[in-house]
Structure 1
Amino acid sequence: MTLQPTSVPDQNNTNGMDCPDPYDWEWLHNSQPVYILIITVLGIMFNAFVLMVFCFHKKACTVAEIYLGNLAAADVLLLSCLPFWAVNISNGFNWPFGPFMCKVVNLGIKMNAYSSIYFLVLVSMDRYVALVHTISHGRMRRPKYAKLGCLLMWGFGLLLCVPTLVFRKMKYLPEFGITPCFLEYPNLTTELFFDGMLIIFSFIVPISIITFCTLKIIQALKIQVIERLNAEKTEQKATKLVLAVLLAFLICWVPFHVVTILDVLLRADILRGCHLEYVLEICNQIFTYLAFFNSVLNPILYVIVGKNFRKKACELFKEWKIKKIATSESSRVSNLSSTLKTLV
């Protein structure tokens, strides 16, 4: 199973008399391009707004904001690639953009999946250090370390995309009369190996870290409430936003990863059954698009939950409004001065 809006029909699939046809999904394919275009437009606008606030505000970004800003950048990367898949689906799964774009577009989609979860790992660890290890967090939580951490996560995400760069290709399928862009491993052993490694490093490891940090963060927040500690109110506000973003990510992405794991077990013959295969193929389509919706949901959470973000956004727009008024006034005075000189 691959992280992409469409699946190429399995050339070796042989359904029995009682097995449903897993590719009779005209209703789903017809709705996919419209859905993709909607989330692309909304997601790029919302995430561009987030990046604008973080980048142009006069105050430097905090460590948590650096991580969330990189998360927004990863979402923009994903959303910029999705229209190509909308065209691909509308074109009957014939990939019209050539082999280079076949690799590049899927690289962008995969980079979002792998980098996003590790940015959330960094966010979780930052909140964990800030609330659980409050004495030492001043030395450990510095913006330059946060930027270095983000750079390393982008590099690690690119490393996880190596199978996409190597095995993603275009190939004419005469039995279907199309030339799709899909992953083609040399053999099943290689396919299961890479899929297993990706499941471990793109899901099990980061989710374990996030779960541990989140439980410790919630425990620390409860202790602060009980003991009425007010010194860390700023940290608590930032933590509530982070927890909301983490929850949204888990809701949107965990179903996809669970289906991916079940699909690997099916291809390894640990699980069997054509009805299970049919269900997993349907779930793969639905949960893939649920995962993509997370890129639209994150900026909405920043506005709804993030009090500090709303404050920064209001300050930025006020600053721009004042500059606009000052520029307009300066222009008016300049024009008046020029008029007076003409009269004299």
Structure 2
Amino acid sequence: MEGNWADSPDAYNYDYDNYTDGHHYPVSPCSRDGDNQLGARLSVLYYFMFVFSVFANGLVLVIIHRFERLTTVTNILLLNLVLSSLIFMSSLPFVSVYMQLSDWIFGKVMCKLVGSVYYLGFYSSVLFLTLLTFDRHLAVVYSLGAPRVRSRGYAVISCGVVWLVSGLACVRPMLLQTTYYHHVDERTYCDEYVGEAPGFDVVKLRTSGFYLQLFLFLIFPLAVIVYCYARIAVTVASSQLAAKFKTLRLIFVIVVLFFACWTPFNVVVLMHERGAPVSCEEGQRLGYALQATRTVAYLYFCVSPVFYTFVGKKFQNHFRQLMVKRFPSLKRHVAVDDGTNMSTKVTPNEL
């Protein structure tokens, strides 16, 4: 679930349905300045997220290029996860400027383009995280039969399906996303159609998109991730691995981090999408919650590819090799395994 980039400062929501002596009298406007100002302040973090994501995920790409081969399932999935994260993060500087100014200054074409990139990166990141979790489940739980299934062809086809599904899911926001000028506050907004649109049914598109996001990008990923990590935990706990307790702690951290960062945002968006708030105060509270949880969710997608990569000893060693080669003086202080080709097979200790 994505939610809007920024709630338009709707400080002019008058109710003209009140009558007194046969005349219309508008009620007091519901000011949303508070939660929009919070969003503007939090959006400053998006610049740091963007810079960190480009640097950290770029580092992952360098390591994969220098030390790995794109013949293993894990590396192919990690590469696509990093790319989807970079696609999503490339939209955040535009989103941040928009939230700070409450004015879209980039034009209608960029509104649709940035919106499409935003949703494509967001949707594909969710599905690639789910696919990566499922693949690790196959590698650990079905370690004997998994090599027959986990082929390069399986990885390429799986990634192709994820990109196709994510691209199709972007059709709705691509059609609905547009710019419109607000005459009262003299600002331009980039948002979805709120009324009728030529050529398609806005209500049906919004409704179908709501259920698509609910089941495909919330319930389905959560169910798969919980199931897979539960099976992994049971398998590791029943084995005789010396590091099984450390692995179980890591599994617990991964699951808790995913739920803590991602679920609150989706719950708030579900509440936001159900319809107009029943009161001004409820709308304000929902706005504050949306701004805060959205920032946390973005932070997770910023660090998740790095987190999933560097928890493995193999990638840690590659990083040390890269640092020692770039800064030879570190060789006396950093232990590096230079003599062996470390296995690319996923083991419980590399989760």
- Alpha carbons 1:43, 1:295 under 8 Å: kept: no
Unpaired stretches in structure 1, ≥5 consecutive residues: 323-344
**TM-score, length-scaled by structure 1:** 0.79
**TM-score, length-scaled by structure 2:** 0.77
For residues 81-96 of structure 1, the aligned pairs below 5 Å read 81-90=91-100, 92-96=101-105
Query: What is the aligned partner in structure 1 of residue 48 from structure 2?
Result: 38
Query: What is the aligned partner in structure 2 of residue 310 from structure 1?
Result: 316
- Alpha carbons 2:50, 2:89 under 8 Å: kept: yes
Q: How far off its partner does 1:10 sit?
A: 4.7
Greater mean deviation of Cα atoms: 125-134 or 9-18: 9-18
**CA deviation string 1:128-181 (max 9, x = no partner):** 212222231010112332122112201111111111110000111112211111
SS in 2 for 1:171: strand
Q: 1:256 aligns with which of 258, 265, 272?
A: 265
The answer to whether the aligner puts 1:128 opposite 2:128 as a matched pair is no
Q: Structure 1 pair 245/70, CA: closer, same or farther in 2 (3 Å)?
A: farther
- Alpha carbons 2:178, 2:190 under 8 Å: kept: yes
Q: 1:76 aligns with which of 62, 78, 86?
A: 86
Greater mean deviation of Cα atoms: 125-134 or 185-194: 185-194
Q: Answer with 1 or 2: which has the greater Rg.
A: 1
Greater mean deviation of Cα atoms: 13-22 or 167-176: 13-22
Identity %: 24
Q: How far off its partner does 1:87 sit?
A: 2.3
For residues 266-277 of structure 1, the aligned pairs below 5 Å read 266-267=275-276, 272-277=278-283
- Alpha carbons 1:241, 1:302 under 8 Å: kept: no
Q: How far off its partner does 1:249 sit?
A: 3.0
Query: What is the aligned partner in structure 2 of residue 109 from structure 1?
Result: 118
Letter in 2 for 1:125: F
Q: Structure 1 pair 99/19, CA: closer, same or farther in 2 (3 Å)?
A: closer
Greater mean deviation of Cα atoms: 61-70 or 9-18: 9-18
Q: Following the alignment from structure 1 to structure 2, what is the Cα–Cα distance between the partners of residues 215 and 18?
A: 52
Output the aligned Cα RMSD: 3.2
For residues 100-249 of structure 1, the aligned pairs below 5 Å read 100-185=109-194, 186=196, 187-188=202-203, 190-224=205-239, 228-229=240-241, 244-249=253-258
Q: Structure 1 pair 58/287, CA: closer, same or farther in 2 (3 Å)?
A: closer
SS in 2 for 1:182: strand
Q: How far off its partner does 1:255 sit?
A: 1.0
- Alpha carbons 2:172, 2:205 under 8 Å: kept: no
Q: Structure 1 pair 316/170, CA: closer, same or farther in 2 (3 Å)?
A: same
Greater mean deviation of Cα atoms: 313-322 or 93-102: 313-322
Q: Whose helix fraction is larger, Structure 1's or Structure 2's?
A: 1
Q: 1:298 aligns with which of 295, 300, 304?
A: 304
Q: Following the alignment from structure 2 to structure 1, what is the Cα–Cα distance between the partners of residues 303 and 294?
A: 15
